[in-house]
Amino acid sequence: MALDPTRIKMDEEEMEAYIKLGEYHSHVLNSFARNIKGNVKVAELVEGSERSIKEGGYELAFPTNLSINEVAAHYTAYPGDETSIPESGVVKLDMGAHLNGMIVDAARSIALNEKYEELVHVAKDALDSAIKRMLPGNKIREVSEAIYNTIVSAGYKPIQNLTGHKIEIYVLHAGTEIPNVPVRGGYRLKEGDIFAIEPFVTFPEAKGYVVPVGDPLIFSFRKKIRTRDEIERKVIRLIEKKYNRLPFCERWLFKELGHRLNNTLLRLIERRALIGYPPLVEASRKMVAQYEDTVLVTSDGPIRLTGGTP
């Protein structure tokens, strides 16, 4: 069963499946968020969370992101990664799951030091304020204003070039965005829309935007190409078969093929067969907090499919 994205309303069976998926995803997300402590290996957390999603009978919508301190997004463990959680800082745990292409996406931030707790609370408050505006007929701008006003009134700064996003079947980023700062014009919400809303917050003295740093750790399929390289052909076949156009990581391919493939993946990016997503770092290297939930727009009000906090 999969939701038809051209329809405005879900039937009861589809709604029940989405809610059940969101509840299970939230259970796993919050459970692993509580386990984020200093000196725990990043690889242990991301692989454990991914395994738990699959144990529930669901598939991964993207590799679990575990982004630390000034890294806002797109960090996941690579084969042999020995990175550990620091004793102090802010950790963002961002997870996605799907059932036949029906995707939920949510994130939590964990302050490992009291001085960052307010930063994390502001991100959550901005998310809560935004969700209240997710009503049919409202413009995206109204949602962005709720995010922006909540963050700025608390004395913090939003990350201006990271956004929430519409979700459709097997499409994690379906084109329409929810910026963390208001922009002119914009899409009007409709009943049946599904959006991931994700405020990113930093300190007022920060530059307030992210830049890519380092090689990509997350990838997605763009198009099939001709190649004489047997390893490239094998990688493309595996990606087409297993991941559709949803994001994946080298760590997953390593488990299938048994050897490192980073250089192969970088070549495939150069040849435009793949899209690469490097870690995104706040430009002035200031701490970043994130909160995210997936929301279904209904005539009775927004349904927070991934609701609940650790």
Q: Catalytic site residues? A: 94, 105, 165, 173, 198, 292
Place of tokens 């001085």: 115
Query: Which tokens in the block code for residue 217?
Result: 């750790």
Torsion of CA 23, 29, 31, 32, to 10 degrees: 160
- For residues 43 and 72, give the distance between their C-alpha atoms in angstroms, rounded to a whole number: 18
Query: Which tokens in the block code for residue 236?
Result: 């493309």
Query: Angle of helix 42-55 relative to helix 12-34, nearest 10 degrees?
Result: 150
Cβ atoms of residues 99 and 58 within 8 Å: yes
Query: Which tokens in the block code for residue 202?
Result: 């930093």
- For residues 106 and 124, give the distance between their C-alpha atoms in angstroms, rounded to a whole number: 12
